[in-house]
């Protein structure tokens, strides 16, 4: 079985010490691709360094994370736009809204989100959306801006039944990660009614490790653990989950 990790920060310094062993674990668990979301100007060079190690496996996105939207966000967006004009990327990401850490620049976050949505339309690539405690607010913007060209994924989905229905109506996907294994994660009540065609798998490594690794560094080789839990919840085989989510990911990220 092959899997795709659609969202992992493998350029994080936490992976430097055992990189070769990490790659061995990717091989042994069948992780054929890992999509790398950008954060801000500081993550671009490390992300490209990982890409250079294996361009077929490590595939970058380009975007400005909402937690990096500050007073000077226009300067950060200028760098993002420069790169989008310079070369191909799999998506505009990770972009979106965050009401968990700091609400100070929420209006600027919304402006940056809308600008980057329009870039995704222009370059005909999907968006990878961060929506921590802000899913409804992000949905409102997307429902307003949606057209035939706009597509994407709600990264680290952990929302309600109603939110899942709105996401499906938009034609977007939901990225399912380690939260699905958490006792009080809530996805066991939402996923049974979500068709597998709307789901892709992710880790958000090094964050949000699945049980039994919760509290430790996450990594892409844990994707089969997430797939197994999705299969249990939906009454499917892990092979069915692997095949369909891999197909969904390849159909979403078609530019590279």
Q: Which helix (H) or strand (E) holds 20?
A: helix 19-29
- State pLDDT tens for residues 218-248: 999 999 999 999 999 999 999 999 999 999 9
**Token pair belonging to 110:** 């919304």
**Residues in contact with 159: Cβ distance below 8 Å, sequence separation at least 6, in sequence order:** 131, 135, 167, 190
Chain centre distance of CA 245: 13
pLDDT of residue 256: 64
| pTM, to two decimals | 0.97
Q: What is the CATH number of domain 3-252?
A: 3.20.20.140
Q: 255 falls in which pLDDT band (50, 70, 90)? A: low
pLDDT of residue 249: 98
The residue-averaged pLDDT of 14-18 equals 97
- Where do the structural domains in the chain lie, given as residue ranges? 3-252
Angle at the Cα of 165 (from 193 to 146), degrees rounded to 5? 145
Round to whole Å and give the CA distance between 22 and 143.
39
Point out which residues pair with 131 in neighbouring strands: 97
Point out which residues pair with 33 in neighbouring strands: 4
Which of 8, 67, 57 is closest to 36 using CA atoms? Answer: 8
Angle at the Cα of 33 (from 128 to 224), degrees rounded to 5? 95
In percent, the amount of the chain with pLDDT more than 70 equals 99
Asked if 40 and 68 count as a contact pair (C-beta separation under 8 A), the reply is yes
* Number of helices and strands in the chain (H, E): 9, 8
């Amino acid at each position: 079985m092959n899997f795709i990790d659609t969202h992992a920060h493998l350029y994080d310094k936490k992976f430097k010490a055992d990189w070769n062993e990490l790659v061995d674990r990717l091989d042994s668990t069948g992780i054929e691709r890992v999509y790398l979301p950008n954060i801000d100007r500081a993550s671009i060079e490390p992300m490209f360094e990982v890409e250079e190690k294996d361009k077929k496996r490590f595939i970058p996105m380009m975007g400005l994370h909402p937690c990096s939207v500050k007073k000077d966000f226009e300067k950060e967006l200028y760098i993002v736009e420069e790169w989008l004009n310079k070369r191909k990327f799999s998506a505009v990401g990770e972009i979106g809204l965050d009401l968990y850490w700091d609400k100070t620049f929420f209006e600027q976050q919304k402006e940056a989100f809308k600008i980057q949505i329009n870039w995704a339309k222009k370059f005909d690539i999907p968006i990878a959306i961060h929506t921590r405690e802000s899913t409804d607010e992000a949905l409102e913007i997307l429902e307003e801006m949606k057209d035939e060209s706009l597509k994407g994924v709600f990264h680290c989905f952990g929302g309600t039944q109603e939110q899942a229905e709105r996401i499906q109506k938009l034609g977007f996907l939901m990225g399912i990660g380690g939260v699905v294994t958490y006792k009080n994660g809530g996805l066991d009540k939402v996923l049974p009614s979500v068709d597998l065609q709307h789901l892709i798998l992710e880790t958000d490594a090094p964050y949000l490790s699945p049980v039994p690794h919760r509290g430790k560094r996450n990594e892409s080789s844990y994707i089969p653990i997430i797939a197994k839990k999705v299969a249990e919840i939906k009454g499917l085989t892990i092979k069915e989950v692997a095949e369909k989510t891999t197909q969904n990911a390849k159909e979403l990220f078609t530019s590279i």
